Chain A
Amino acid sequence: MRNKSAFTKRLASSLIALVCVVLAGGFLAAALVRYSPGFDSIPEDLLHISPTALQALREERASENSLPRFYARYLKAAVQGDLGISESLRIPVTDLIRDRAPVTALLILFGTAGGWLLGGLLAWAAVWTRRPALEAFAFSISGLLLAVPPAVLALAFFFYEAPLSLALSLALLPRVFGTMRALLDCYASPALLAARARGTGPFTIATRYVFRVAAPQLIALLGVALVLAFGSAIPIEALCGVPGLGALALQAAIARDMPLLCGLALLITFFVTFIHAAGELVIGE
């Protein structure tokens, strides 16, 4: 009963935090649109009216577009699924996000899964075999990949027509390997060494002792890996012509398409905060 109440409390505080961060993100996004250059400009066909009328029009617009009012309008529309119209593409932002999100989601999903698999295998091999040479090899691979910009990795994969999600996996590998290697250190603890000496198999040790203990940190790592994957996906998509959200974000930045950038900021803030909140809920911190 007490556990249930504690979980409800955690759930409520996570939800409040999620809403607050997304609202704050939305406010910053709206402020960005509101104060972007050219926002208050008067259409050319109205420029011929008298200076007094022009001044009155400017004042009316300024009062209409004060930041709180503007944000309230933006938020109301956003709740109804209307994030405005892209200035550069002349397409509703919601439609653009709906079209592009699956591409990025697939890239991130496969990239993160691959990064976890490769990083985890490398960490496990280094710990399980307890061979210094293998451990040195694992650290070298990880260090080497950490030194290459993900965009360069992606270019190489693109030119050799290899899957780009694998480039993303390799970009994530060092981060996953580093954390997993630290978590698996308990494998060398006296208790688990004794278990191995008594003939307990590696699978049993891994599932019953190692991963059960490390589960909370692994869930937290999954959240971090997803966020890192999204960050790495931006240059990968932009340079390799993948029609995803990353390429869209760069296009919006270059065209100074504020409504599109704001829609993306709102979505990404929600996505990342949701992952963090879900991780914290599962971990129970």
Chain B
Amino acid sequence: MKKILRSAALAVLLAVLLCALFAPAIAPYDYSRQFRDVPNAPASHQFPMGTDDLGRDRLSRLLYATRISIFLAPAAALISILIALLLSAASQGGAVSGFTTLCLSLPWIFLFIVLRSVLPLNTRPLASILITFGLMGIAGWAWPARIFTASIRQMKQSGWLLQARASGISNPRIAIAHAWPHLRAIAVAQFRILVPAYILSEASLGLLGLGVAEPLPSWGNLLAELQHPARVHDNPWLLAPLALLMMVMISLEVLA
């Protein structure tokens, strides 16, 4: 049963990844093309999921949104892990540990909105992507850092490290050839935890209007349409981004 579930999850993720990768080829229209004579159109042959307020094709926007949400969350996770790894390796002292405790003391979303408020809110769409996912990566380093710090501390007390030092092996070589293989498994585990967390966070931020800026689509800003319940009743395709998000999240959970 577990094997079937894992295969199904893998198939779902592969399908979503392929759709995201080939979005420009699959999508019937460009994500920003407006058909102003048919705003809020119901599902039809021309627009399989209908159109939004500005007459943009929902299916095309969903495909492009998948591309942004699914590829940039791993990038943000990589940034977090890289920062965590560098800070943990560079200092095992109290300052970094204290800063980690401070960052862990603030709820993640609050930390994000505080950092976001320092930067301009009216940015170009491309800049908004970089700001959203970059800040996610920067704000989310504390949890992996705590795990890396504990692991590196344990490693520093181990016999093999003492022997390597006594043998005259340089610190960079110890880090790359000996310590990294130990830390790689933790990094992969943290990556697996962070990716779904960031996908979900982007969705929440998009709903709050702090995520990717229009006209670029992301799962978050597509979900913002759920704030109008009457529209959901008239056009159930509005739930498609939520369904896709849930499918991806469940698949990631099953595979993790």
Contact = CB atoms under 8 A, between A and B. Distances in A.
A32 B118 CA distance: 8
Interface in B63-122: 98-99, 101-102, 105-110, 113-114, 116-118, 121
A149 B200 contact: yes
13 contacts: A21-B105, A149-B200, A151-B203, A228-B107, A230-B107, A231-B107, A235-B207, A250-B210, A252-B117, A253-B114, A253-B117, A256-B117, A264-B110
Label chain B's interface by main secondary structure: helix
B208 A152 contact: no
A272 interface: yes
B229 interface: yes
A159 B204 CA distance: 18
Given A147-B246, A239-B208, A36 B102 contact: no
Interface string A23-52: 011001000100010000000000000000
Contacts of A148: 242, 246
Interface of B: 98-99, 101-102, 105-110, 113-114, 116-118, 121, 200, 203-204, 207-210, 223, 226-227, 229, 242, 245-246, 249-250, 253-254
A276 interface: yes
Counting from the closest, the 3 A-B pairs by CB-CB distance are: A231-B107, A147-B249, A253-B117
Contacts of A32: 114, 118
Label chain A's interface by main secondary structure: helix
Interface residues of A, number: 42
A235 B200 CA distance: 12
A276 B105 CA distance: 9
A149 B250 contact: no
A252 B210 CA distance: 13
B110 A231 contact: yes
Contact of B208 (A25, A227, A250, A265): A250
Contacts of A282: none
